Every structure is written in structure tokens, then in C-alpha cells.
């Protein structure tokens, strides 16, 4: 299999609802998100997908929906208060752990954003710090 990878950096606030320690508090990270794509066949130019398409479809989605926003789980009891403070919070159907963020990007965002390109997302890494990251893959 031949694959390509592009990363994008975003700054995001979140909290892990129910976390037993500091991550239950409102805080944020400078995330590095890695997208890995593949295709059944290379295109006529020998590519899985032009890196610019990854930027336009996946990286731009991050910019539009998560960058400089606060991610909050739709079941978080603080959701109403956070929305009252800032209506631009991004509501997720999962607790915004690095693992859940990677899975959401891989299973929901990727397929929708890459539709019609001939490529598919096969892995997403959400690097929360230089030491800590989560990986979703097919």
C-alpha cells in the first residue's frame, strides 16, 4: 500500500468530562493532526491524492470547525454555560479525548470530506503534546 500523510496544527480548548484529574478542567493544547490517506490506484500523475486536496478538504475543515474553539461533549453538564459564554463552541457526540477526536476525524469527517476524490483516510493521529498522541486507523 502507498499512502500519503499531511499534518496540520491547530489550537483548541477542551475538557474531559468525568476525568479523574486535571483534564476535567477547562484547558487547551496546540494539537498537531496527522492525516494518512491511500487509494486503490495512483492517479495518472502517480499520486494517491494531491497534498493540496488534503489541505483544502481536511486541514481546512479543522480550521473552520475546531481551530481556536472549545470542544465540548454534547452530554457535558457544562455545555449550556459554555455556549452562553461563547456560542462558537464546537459540540461533539463524544468526550473530546485525543482518542475520540482521532476516531471522529477518521470515521465521520474524513469520509465526508474525501468523498469523490478516489482516496480514503486510513489513519489519523492527534498529537496533544510532543509526548502524547492518539492514533485511529482502519
Residues forming the active site: 23, 68, 128
SS3 of residue 116 by DSSP: coil
Nearest in space to 7 (alpha carbons), one of 64, 56, 55: 55
**CA–CA distance, 26 with 64 (Å, rounded to integer):** 21
C-alpha cell at 44: 495518472
Grid coordinates in use for 128?
496533544
Element at 9 (helix H, strand E): strand 3-14
Taking the C-alpha atoms of residue 103 and residue 82, their distance in angstroms, rounded to an integer, is 24
- What DSSP designation does 80 have? H
Amino acid at each position: 500500500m502507498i499512502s500519503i500523510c499531511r499534518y496540520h496544527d491547530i489550537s483548541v480548548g477542551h475538557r474531559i468530562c468525568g476525568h479523574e484529574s486535571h483534564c476535567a478542567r477547562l484547558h487547551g493544547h496546540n494539537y498537531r493532526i496527522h492525516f494518512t490517506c491511500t487509494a486503490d490506484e495512483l492517479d495518472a500523475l502517480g499520486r494517491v491524492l494531491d497534498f493540496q486536496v488534503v489541505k483544502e478538504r481536511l486541514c481546512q475543515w479543522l480550521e473552520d470547525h475546531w481551530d481556536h474553539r472549545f470542544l465540548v461533549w454534547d452530554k457535558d453538564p457544562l455545555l449550556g454555560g459554555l455556549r452562553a459564554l461563547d456560542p462558537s463552541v464546537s459540540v461533539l457526540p463524544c468526550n473530546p479525548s485525543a482518542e475520540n477526536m482521532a476516531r471522529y476525524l477518521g470515521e465521520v469527517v474524513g469520509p465526508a470530506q474525501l468523498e469523490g476524490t478516489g482516496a480514503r483516510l486510513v489513519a489519523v493521529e492527534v498529537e496533544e503534546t510532543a509526548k502524547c498522541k492518539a492514533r485511529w486507523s482502519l
